[in-house]
Structure formats: C-alpha cells, structure tokens
Structure 1
Amino acid sequence: DSEIEANSTSPGPETTHRPHAIPPPAPADWVRKERLGKK
C-alpha cells in the first residue's frame, strides 16, 4: 500500500516510466543539457 501512496504523492507519475524525463519547471535547464549532450 505504501508503494501506491508514494506514487500518488509523487508530483509526476510520468517520471515513473520516464527516468530520463525532464521536468517542465526548468525548460532552459534541460535545453542546455540536451545541447551539451548532443554536442
């Protein structure tokens, strides 16, 4: 039950099946990382 509760409290359930998912609060941050990683 605690597992379900933890998932429910999670801010974004999508992150569960998306470990490399970047949060929308910092678009410039992930953009910088993406550019650096692509370079």
Structure 2
Amino acid sequence: MATTRVQWLDAAKGIAIMLVVCHHTLLYLGFLDIRFLPY
C-alpha cells in the first residue's frame, strides 16, 4: 500500500518546526540575558 506525500505540506511542516526551534532558542537566550534585539 503506497501513500503519496504532499511536498508543500512537508515543506510547511519543516518551516514550522524551524520557527518553533528559533523561538525557543531566543527565549532561552533571553533568560540568560543575552539579547539580539534592542527591546
């Protein structure tokens, strides 16, 4: 039983995962008082 994959959906999931990783990284660096943004 073969299933087909929707490429744009896989790409969207990958982008979403990367955005979550970046968000959590920036939160963690904020807790360490390392900031990249002026606010």
**What TM-score does the superposition give when structure 2 sets the normalisation length?**
0.37
Q: Which structure ranks higher in relative contact order (CA pairs < 8 Å, sequence separation ≥ 6)? A: 1
Q: Could you say which structure has the higher helix fraction? A: 2
When Rg is computed on C-alpha atoms for both structures, the one with the higher figure is: 2
**What TM-score does the superposition give when structure 1 sets the normalisation length?**
0.37
